[in-house]
Structure 1
Amino acid sequence: MSQEEILAEKKKAIFESTLELVRENGFHGTPMSLVAKKAGVAAGTIYHYFDSKDTLIIALHGYLRSRMFKTMLDGDDETRDFESRFFTFWKKHYHFYVQNPNALYFIEQFVNSPYYERCPEKENDRCQNIIAQFLKTGIETGVLKQMNLKLMSILVHSSVVTTAKVSLTKKVEIGETELQQVAQVIWDGIKQ
């Protein structure tokens, strides 16, 4: 393994440990020393990558968003009809959260914390940009209703988050049929 790969693995271990600890203890209950211990790295190693816990938390948010958007857009085919793209997009978003529950809980805490306000403006915009850009295309082409784009983005994203949380907590069994039904309700609400 090259030195670059070793460093990348250490950074990934730091991120994964932070995710687990934040889910268990929240942001304030997750000191850098605990992250280092859980990740199996020296405290100095963390400070090699991140000069503070704030920097780590903001970087982790960007990392998670990048992974999520890559997953959601993987295999997207702009030549397909908008409706089928919407269902694929919505379900991939859902599956990302169900397969990465620590990411779901981290992102929820992050956007409702002062960290979100400290995120560089471009990074904040990027958080909703892919969803918004996709929906904007639907509005502009007349497939979706004329509606405040930000509100429509929030509606779609929150339906994904809520469905994933219900599934993860096992409050309701969510199979493919239920998943299709929820996505259909959202689609029916926003389509022209």
Structure 2
Amino acid sequence: MEPIADKKKAIFESTLELVRENGFHGTPMSMVARHAGVAAGTIYHYFESKDQLIKELFDYVQQQAIAIVEKEDCKTIPFKTCFLNLWFGLYTLYHDRPNVLKFFEQFVNSPYSTGRPPLEEDKFYAPLLLFFERGIADGELQQVSPKILAMLAHSSIVSTAKLAGSGIVQLTPAELKQIPELLWNGIKQTT
């Protein structure tokens, strides 16, 4: 991911916070500019419209999740370790940055998400599917569709981050560690 200008990053981060609080429709460009501490003209220097801002913001936050998947898809450590690192990496992103998770949820359930590619061509899911395909090919995972494995893993991460982040569930570090371990035990190849 190529570095972005500080002002553009401030606009993205402000939009994440404001969309979480107000939704897409309740977050006008003028509010974003004020919150980001930039002039109204500056925001239009980077984005022609709010639609463009929202779409580029989705790419910006999606790239953060993709970077975690790519980082953990290493072949120098055991696959189970890669899996656990990936699970905790994405969990940490979503838990520590609840604005990101809330934005993802709003985006995928909005008209902005229409026309998105199938799972195999999605920028986030494509490398995640490749990760699970490697696990299957290496004999580490059960012979099931990588789509199923990706959906199981990602949905467990999202659910755990939402529940723990909202305070609905209080998890000790030991309890949190059990979640991906249980998932691993359900998807690993048994002999």
Same fold (TM over 0.5): yes
List gaps (5 residues or longer) in structure 2.
Answer: none
> Does residue 1:34 correspond to 2:31, yes or no?
yes
Aligned to 1:84: 81
Runs of 4+ aligned residues of structure 1 deviating over 6 Å after TM superposition are: none
Change (3 A) 1:77 1:148: closer
Q: Deviations over 1:29-56 (max 9, x none)?
A: 1111111111111222111111111111
Match of 1:128 in 2: 125
The aligned residue for residue 11 of structure 2 is 14
Whole-Å separation in 1 of the counterparts to 2:72 and 2:155 = 23
Give 2:58's aligned residue.
Answer: 61
Counterpart of 2:150, as a letter, is S
Match of 1:94 among 73, 91, 94: 91
Offset, 1:69: 2.6
In structure 1, how many angstroms separate the alpha carbons of the residues matched to 2:74 and 2:171? 27
Larger mean CA deviation between 70-79 and 81-90 belongs to: 70-79
Q: Report the CA distance between 1:100 and its aligned residue.
A: 0.9
| Equivalent in the alignment of 1:24 | 21
Contact 1:58 1:119 in 2 (8 A): no
Q: More helix per residue: 1 or 2?
A: 1
Residues 76/151 of structure 1: CA separation in 2 closer, same or farther (3 Å cut): closer
- How many residues are paired up? 187
2 CA distance for matches of 1:92 and 1:156? 12
Q: Is the 8 A contact 2:20 2:103 kept in 1?
A: yes
Instruction: Give me the whole-angstrom Cα distance separating, in 2, the residues matched to 1:45 and 1:51.
Output: 11
Measured in 1, the distance between the counterparts of 2:75 and 2:176 equals 23
- From 141, 155, 162, the counterpart of 1:144: 141
CA drift of 1:117 comes to 2.2
How far apart in 1 are the matches of 2:20 and 2:161? 16
TM-score after normalising by structure 2? 0.88
Runs of 5+ unmatched residues, structure 1: none
The alpha-carbon distance between structure 1 residues 111 and 31, as it changes in their structure 2 partners (threshold 3 A), is: same
Q: Is the 8 A contact 1:91 1:179 kept in 2?
A: no
Q: How many percent identity over aligned positions? A: 49
Aligned counterparts of 2:93 and 2:169: Cα–Cα separation in 1: 18
